[in-house]
A = this chain, B = another copy of it.
Amino acid sequence: MTRRVVLLAHEGFPDRAKTAVGVLRYADVEVVAVLDREIAEVDDDARVSDYLDDVQDAPIVGRAADAPEFDALVVGIAPIGGGLDQSWRPDLQFALESGADLISGLHYFLSEDERLATLAAEHDADIWDVRQPPSDLTVADGVARDLDCEIVLSVGTDCSTGKMTVTRELYEAAVDRGLDAAFIPTGQTGIVIENWGIPIDRTISDFTAGAVERMLVERQDHDYLFVEGQGSITHPAYSTVTCGILHGAMPDQLVMCHVAGREAIHGYESFEIPNPATVANLYEQVAEPVAPTEIVAGSLNTRGLDEDDAQEALDTYEAQLRVPVADPVREGPDAILEAILE
Protein backbone atom coordinates (compact mmCIF):
# COMPACT_ATOMS: atom_id res chain seq x y z
CA MET A 1 0.00 0.00 0.00
CA THR A 2 1.31 3.42 -0.94
CA ARG A 3 2.08 5.63 2.04
CA ARG A 4 -0.01 8.75 2.49
CA VAL A 5 2.25 11.70 3.16
CA VAL A 6 1.89 15.31 4.29
CA LEU A 7 4.69 17.71 3.30
CA LEU A 8 5.46 20.58 5.68
CA ALA A 9 6.61 23.62 3.69
CA HIS A 10 5.40 26.67 5.63
CA GLU A 11 6.17 29.96 3.93
CA GLY A 12 8.48 28.10 1.57
CA PHE A 13 6.40 26.38 -1.11
CA PRO A 14 7.50 25.82 -3.77
CA ASP A 15 10.67 27.89 -4.20
CA ARG A 16 12.35 27.21 -0.88
CA ALA A 17 10.89 23.74 -0.38
CA LYS A 18 13.36 21.51 -2.24
CA THR A 19 12.50 18.38 -0.33
CA ALA A 20 8.74 18.85 -0.71
CA VAL A 21 9.09 19.39 -4.46
CA GLY A 22 11.45 16.41 -4.78
CA VAL A 23 9.01 14.13 -3.00
CA LEU A 24 6.09 15.41 -5.12
CA ARG A 25 8.05 14.78 -8.27
CA TYR A 26 9.90 11.54 -7.63
CA ALA A 27 8.92 9.61 -4.52
CA ASP A 28 6.70 6.54 -4.61
CA VAL A 29 4.19 7.94 -2.10
CA GLU A 30 0.75 9.59 -2.20
CA VAL A 31 1.01 13.22 -1.10
CA VAL A 32 -2.36 14.04 0.53
CA ALA A 33 -1.48 17.64 1.40
CA VAL A 34 1.23 20.28 1.41
CA LEU A 35 1.32 22.56 4.46
CA ASP A 36 2.00 26.21 3.70
CA ARG A 37 0.05 28.53 5.98
CA GLU A 38 1.09 31.60 4.00
CA ILE A 39 -0.48 30.27 0.81
CA ALA A 40 -3.49 28.74 2.60
CA GLU A 41 -4.27 31.99 4.34
CA VAL A 42 -4.89 33.86 1.10
CA ASP A 43 -6.35 30.97 -0.93
CA ASP A 44 -8.26 28.22 0.82
CA ASP A 45 -8.57 26.25 -2.43
CA ALA A 46 -4.85 26.37 -3.27
CA ARG A 47 -3.35 23.31 -4.93
CA VAL A 48 0.15 22.20 -5.87
CA SER A 49 -0.86 22.36 -9.53
CA ASP A 50 -1.33 26.12 -9.19
CA TYR A 51 2.43 26.33 -8.73
CA LEU A 52 4.06 23.33 -10.38
CA ASP A 53 3.46 21.21 -13.49
CA ASP A 54 4.67 17.66 -13.94
CA VAL A 55 4.41 16.63 -10.31
CA GLN A 56 1.61 14.90 -8.44
CA ASP A 57 -1.14 17.27 -7.36
CA ALA A 58 -2.36 17.82 -3.79
CA PRO A 59 -4.24 20.46 -1.80
CA ILE A 60 -2.25 23.12 0.06
CA VAL A 61 -3.54 23.62 3.60
CA GLY A 62 -2.51 25.71 6.58
CA ARG A 63 -2.01 23.04 9.21
CA ALA A 64 -1.71 19.30 9.61
CA ALA A 65 -5.11 19.16 11.34
CA ASP A 66 -6.71 20.34 8.06
CA ALA A 67 -5.10 17.58 5.96
CA PRO A 68 -6.76 14.29 4.97
CA GLU A 69 -5.68 11.23 6.95
CA PHE A 70 -1.97 10.48 6.52
CA ASP A 71 0.72 7.98 7.56
CA ALA A 72 3.76 10.29 7.69
CA LEU A 73 4.64 13.95 7.83
CA VAL A 74 7.79 14.92 5.92
CA VAL A 75 9.55 18.17 6.81
CA GLY A 76 9.83 19.42 3.26
CA ILE A 77 11.89 22.59 3.67
CA ALA A 78 15.55 22.98 4.57
CA PRO A 79 16.12 26.34 6.25
CA ILE A 80 19.67 27.72 6.40
CA GLY A 81 21.23 26.25 9.53
CA GLY A 82 18.77 23.39 9.69
CA GLY A 83 17.16 24.37 12.98
CA LEU A 84 13.62 23.60 14.13
CA ASP A 85 11.14 26.45 13.64
CA GLN A 86 9.21 26.42 16.89
CA SER A 87 6.02 27.44 15.04
CA TRP A 88 6.01 23.99 13.38
CA ARG A 89 5.46 22.20 16.68
CA PRO A 90 1.64 22.06 16.53
CA ASP A 91 1.82 20.29 13.14
CA LEU A 92 4.51 17.88 14.28
CA GLN A 93 2.60 17.11 17.47
CA PHE A 94 -0.68 16.66 15.62
CA ALA A 95 1.02 14.17 13.30
CA LEU A 96 2.44 12.12 16.16
CA GLU A 97 -0.84 12.26 18.10
CA SER A 98 -2.52 10.84 14.99
CA GLY A 99 -0.02 7.98 15.01
CA ALA A 100 1.75 9.28 11.89
CA ASP A 101 5.53 9.09 11.56
CA LEU A 102 7.83 12.09 11.20
CA ILE A 103 10.53 12.18 8.53
CA SER A 104 12.94 15.09 8.83
CA GLY A 105 16.10 16.26 7.17
CA LEU A 106 16.77 19.02 9.67
CA HIS A 107 20.16 19.28 11.37
CA TYR A 108 18.14 19.44 14.60
CA PHE A 109 17.21 15.84 15.33
CA LEU A 110 13.51 15.53 16.11
CA SER A 111 14.13 12.12 17.67
CA GLU A 112 16.26 13.84 20.31
CA ASP A 113 13.56 16.41 21.10
CA GLU A 114 12.17 15.27 24.43
CA ARG A 115 8.60 16.39 23.83
CA LEU A 116 8.39 14.86 20.35
CA ALA A 117 10.17 11.66 21.35
CA THR A 118 7.73 11.19 24.23
CA LEU A 119 4.74 11.76 21.97
CA ALA A 120 6.11 9.33 19.39
CA ALA A 121 6.52 6.65 22.03
CA GLU A 122 3.02 7.26 23.40
CA HIS A 123 1.39 6.97 19.99
CA ASP A 124 3.57 4.22 18.54
CA ALA A 125 4.90 6.54 15.82
CA ASP A 126 8.44 6.61 14.39
CA ILE A 127 10.76 9.59 13.98
CA TRP A 128 13.31 9.18 11.18
CA ASP A 129 16.02 11.83 11.19
CA VAL A 130 17.29 11.45 7.68
CA ARG A 131 20.39 13.50 8.46
CA GLN A 132 21.73 11.12 11.09
CA PRO A 133 24.75 9.48 9.40
CA PRO A 134 26.02 5.98 10.17
CA SER A 135 28.25 5.89 13.25
CA ASP A 136 30.98 3.77 11.65
CA LEU A 137 32.17 6.10 8.88
CA THR A 138 35.90 6.40 8.28
CA VAL A 139 38.40 8.13 5.99
CA ALA A 140 38.37 7.51 2.25
CA ASP A 141 40.66 4.85 0.83
CA GLY A 142 40.84 6.71 -2.47
CA VAL A 143 39.38 3.83 -4.51
CA ALA A 144 36.37 5.31 -6.33
CA ARG A 145 38.46 5.98 -9.44
CA ASP A 146 39.21 2.25 -9.65
CA LEU A 147 35.57 1.14 -9.71
CA ASP A 148 34.36 -0.41 -12.93
CA CYS A 149 31.40 2.00 -13.25
CA GLU A 150 30.80 5.24 -15.07
CA ILE A 151 30.43 7.77 -12.27
CA VAL A 152 28.48 10.95 -13.06
CA LEU A 153 28.34 13.78 -10.51
CA SER A 154 26.23 16.92 -10.58
CA VAL A 155 28.01 20.11 -9.50
CA GLY A 156 26.78 23.69 -9.39
CA THR A 157 27.35 27.40 -9.15
CA ASP A 158 25.39 27.52 -5.88
CA CYS A 159 23.07 25.55 -3.62
CA SER A 160 19.57 24.90 -4.99
CA THR A 161 20.58 24.93 -8.64
CA GLY A 162 18.88 21.64 -9.57
CA LYS A 163 21.61 19.11 -8.79
CA MET A 164 19.23 16.65 -7.15
CA THR A 165 16.68 17.14 -9.92
CA VAL A 166 19.00 16.61 -12.87
CA THR A 167 20.68 13.65 -11.18
CA ARG A 168 17.31 12.06 -10.52
CA GLU A 169 16.06 12.79 -14.06
CA LEU A 170 19.22 11.35 -15.58
CA TYR A 171 18.94 8.23 -13.45
CA GLU A 172 15.30 7.68 -14.39
CA ALA A 173 15.97 8.33 -18.08
CA ALA A 174 18.91 5.93 -18.03
CA VAL A 175 16.79 3.21 -16.45
CA ASP A 176 14.04 3.90 -19.03
CA ARG A 177 16.60 3.22 -21.74
CA GLY A 178 17.39 -0.14 -20.18
CA LEU A 179 20.73 0.91 -18.70
CA ASP A 180 21.88 -0.56 -15.40
CA ALA A 181 22.01 2.61 -13.27
CA ALA A 182 21.81 3.60 -9.63
CA PHE A 183 21.05 6.90 -7.94
CA ILE A 184 23.44 7.85 -5.12
CA PRO A 185 21.63 10.17 -2.71
CA THR A 186 23.73 12.54 -0.63
CA GLY A 187 21.09 14.86 0.84
CA GLN A 188 17.84 14.68 2.68
CA THR A 189 15.57 14.86 -0.36
CA GLY A 190 17.34 12.11 -2.27
CA ILE A 191 17.48 9.94 0.83
CA VAL A 192 13.75 10.41 1.49
CA ILE A 193 13.00 9.50 -2.13
CA GLU A 194 15.35 6.50 -2.25
CA ASN A 195 14.82 5.32 1.32
CA TRP A 196 18.62 4.88 1.45
CA GLY A 197 21.78 7.00 1.50
CA ILE A 198 24.16 8.99 3.68
CA PRO A 199 23.52 12.67 4.51
CA ILE A 200 26.91 13.93 3.40
CA ASP A 201 26.54 17.42 4.83
CA ARG A 202 26.13 15.91 8.28
CA THR A 203 29.24 13.70 8.22
CA ILE A 204 32.41 14.51 10.12
CA SER A 205 34.60 16.46 7.71
CA ASP A 206 37.47 13.97 7.91
CA PHE A 207 35.06 11.22 6.81
CA THR A 208 33.05 13.10 4.17
CA ALA A 209 34.94 11.77 1.16
CA GLY A 210 34.94 8.33 2.76
CA ALA A 211 31.16 8.38 3.17
CA VAL A 212 30.66 9.12 -0.53
CA GLU A 213 33.17 6.46 -1.47
CA ARG A 214 31.35 3.92 0.69
CA MET A 215 28.06 4.48 -1.13
CA LEU A 216 29.74 4.06 -4.51
CA VAL A 217 31.51 0.89 -3.43
CA GLU A 218 28.18 -0.51 -2.20
CA ARG A 219 26.55 0.15 -5.59
CA GLN A 220 29.54 -0.79 -7.77
CA ASP A 221 27.65 -3.65 -9.44
CA HIS A 222 25.82 -1.08 -11.59
CA ASP A 223 27.16 0.29 -14.88
CA TYR A 224 26.21 3.91 -14.19
CA LEU A 225 26.23 5.69 -10.85
CA PHE A 226 24.48 9.06 -10.80
CA VAL A 227 25.74 10.94 -7.74
CA GLU A 228 23.70 13.80 -6.32
CA GLY A 229 26.01 16.76 -5.72
CA GLN A 230 25.72 19.36 -2.95
CA GLY A 231 26.55 23.04 -2.54
CA SER A 232 29.17 24.69 -4.69
CA ILE A 233 32.95 24.87 -4.72
CA THR A 234 32.47 28.66 -4.68
CA HIS A 235 30.10 28.74 -1.68
CA PRO A 236 31.39 30.55 1.45
CA ALA A 237 29.71 28.10 3.84
CA TYR A 238 29.07 24.84 1.96
CA SER A 239 32.13 24.32 -0.24
CA THR A 240 33.49 21.91 2.35
CA VAL A 241 30.80 19.38 1.47
CA THR A 242 31.17 19.99 -2.27
CA CYS A 243 34.91 19.34 -2.18
CA GLY A 244 34.43 16.15 -0.16
CA ILE A 245 31.93 14.79 -2.68
CA LEU A 246 34.10 15.73 -5.66
CA HIS A 247 37.21 13.99 -4.31
CA GLY A 248 35.34 11.11 -2.67
CA ALA A 249 33.30 10.26 -5.78
CA MET A 250 36.18 10.70 -8.27
CA PRO A 251 33.60 11.10 -11.04
CA ASP A 252 34.31 10.33 -14.68
CA GLN A 253 31.92 13.04 -15.80
CA LEU A 254 30.41 16.21 -14.35
CA VAL A 255 27.09 17.89 -15.10
CA MET A 256 27.25 21.60 -14.32
CA CYS A 257 24.10 23.11 -12.77
CA HIS A 258 23.08 26.76 -12.72
CA VAL A 259 19.95 28.88 -12.32
CA ALA A 260 19.25 31.29 -15.15
CA GLY A 261 19.81 34.84 -13.98
CA ARG A 262 21.21 34.03 -10.57
CA GLU A 263 24.18 36.29 -9.92
CA ALA A 264 24.88 35.92 -6.19
CA ILE A 265 25.06 33.05 -3.71
CA HIS A 266 21.58 32.41 -2.29
CA GLY A 267 21.45 33.71 1.27
CA TYR A 268 24.96 35.19 0.93
CA GLU A 269 24.12 37.93 -1.52
CA SER A 270 27.42 39.79 -1.10
CA PHE A 271 29.17 36.80 -2.72
CA GLU A 272 28.95 37.03 -6.50
CA ILE A 273 28.70 33.89 -8.60
CA PRO A 274 31.48 33.95 -11.21
CA ASN A 275 30.79 33.20 -14.86
CA PRO A 276 29.58 29.56 -14.93
CA ALA A 277 32.47 28.72 -17.25
CA THR A 278 34.91 29.88 -14.58
CA VAL A 279 33.19 27.72 -11.99
CA ALA A 280 33.14 24.75 -14.39
CA ASN A 281 36.84 25.13 -14.99
CA LEU A 282 37.47 25.32 -11.24
CA TYR A 283 35.74 21.97 -10.69
CA GLU A 284 37.94 20.34 -13.31
CA GLN A 285 41.07 21.86 -11.81
CA VAL A 286 40.24 20.82 -8.25
CA ALA A 287 39.45 17.29 -9.42
CA GLU A 288 42.57 16.99 -11.59
CA PRO A 289 45.24 16.00 -8.99
CA VAL A 290 42.94 13.39 -7.41
CA ALA A 291 40.97 12.04 -10.36
CA PRO A 292 40.76 13.97 -13.64
CA THR A 293 37.26 14.59 -14.94
CA GLU A 294 35.40 16.93 -17.25
CA ILE A 295 32.20 18.87 -17.54
CA VAL A 296 30.27 17.03 -20.27
CA ALA A 297 26.94 18.84 -20.05
CA GLY A 298 25.10 21.70 -18.38
CA SER A 299 21.80 21.75 -16.54
CA LEU A 300 20.00 25.08 -16.36
CA ASN A 301 16.98 25.91 -14.20
CA THR A 302 14.85 28.30 -16.30
CA ARG A 303 11.71 28.16 -14.18
CA GLY A 304 9.73 31.38 -14.29
CA LEU A 305 11.04 32.40 -17.72
CA ASP A 306 8.85 32.36 -20.80
CA GLU A 307 9.76 30.11 -23.70
CA ASP A 308 11.83 32.74 -25.52
CA ASP A 309 13.72 33.92 -22.48
CA ALA A 310 14.39 30.34 -21.44
CA GLN A 311 15.80 29.52 -24.86
CA GLU A 312 17.99 32.60 -24.76
CA ALA A 313 19.26 31.66 -21.32
CA LEU A 314 19.99 28.13 -22.54
CA ASP A 315 21.83 29.46 -25.58
CA THR A 316 23.93 31.75 -23.40
CA TYR A 317 24.71 28.92 -21.00
CA GLU A 318 25.71 26.60 -23.84
CA ALA A 319 27.98 29.28 -25.27
CA GLN A 320 29.60 29.72 -21.87
CA LEU A 321 30.15 26.03 -21.12
CA ARG A 322 30.74 24.82 -24.73
CA VAL A 323 28.96 21.55 -23.99
CA PRO A 324 25.33 20.45 -24.55
CA VAL A 325 22.92 22.01 -22.04
CA ALA A 326 19.26 21.58 -21.15
CA ASP A 327 16.66 22.43 -18.54
CA PRO A 328 15.89 18.91 -17.30
CA VAL A 329 12.46 19.93 -16.01
CA ARG A 330 11.33 22.02 -18.99
CA GLU A 331 12.92 19.91 -21.71
CA GLY A 332 13.69 16.62 -20.06
CA PRO A 333 17.18 15.24 -19.50
CA ASP A 334 17.73 13.58 -22.90
CA ALA A 335 20.23 16.04 -24.33
CA ILE A 336 22.29 15.77 -21.14
CA LEU A 337 22.06 11.99 -21.08
CA GLU A 338 23.18 11.83 -24.72
CA ALA A 339 26.27 13.84 -23.84
CA ILE A 340 27.04 11.46 -20.99
CA LEU A 341 26.59 8.32 -23.09
CA GLU A 342 28.66 9.62 -26.00
Q: Please name 26 pairs of A and B residues whose Cβ atoms are closer than 8 Å in the assembled complex, sorted by A.
A: A81-B138, A81-B139, A139-B237, A139-B238, A140-B237, A142-B237, A142-B268, A142-B271, A201-B205, A202-B204, A206-B238, A209-B239, A209-B240, A233-B243, A234-B289, A236-B247, A236-B290, A237-B247, A239-B247, A240-B241, A242-B243, A243-B244, A271-B290, A274-B289, A278-B289, A282-B286
Residues on B with C-beta less than 8 A from A289 are 234, 271-274, 278-279, 282
Check: A87 CB closer than 8 A to any chain B CB: no
In the bound complex, CA of A268 to CA of B250 (Å)? 15
The residue in chain B whose Cβ has the minimal distance to the Cβ of A281 is B285
Check: A160 CB closer than 8 A to any chain B CB: no
Residues on B with C-beta less than 8 A from A242 are 243
Residue picked from A82, A244, A278, most chain B C-beta under 10 Å = A244
Interface size class of A (residues with CB under 8 A): 35 or more
Chain A residues in the interface with B (C-beta under 8 A): 80-82, 107, 138-142, 200-206, 208-210, 233-244, 247-248, 250, 268, 270-274, 278-279, 282, 285-286, 288-291
- B206 contacts A201, CB within 8 Å? yes
- B202 contacts A206, CB within 8 Å? yes
Residue picked from A204, A268, A272, most chain B C-beta under 10 Å = A204
Residues on B with C-beta less than 8 A from A208 are 205, 240
The residue in chain B whose Cβ has the minimal distance to the Cβ of A137 is B107
Whole-angstrom distance from the CB of A185 to the nearest CB of chain B? 16
In the bound complex, CA of A248 to CA of B141 (Å)? 26
- A82 contacts B206, CB within 8 Å? yes
In the bound complex, CA of A81 to CA of B201 (Å)? 19
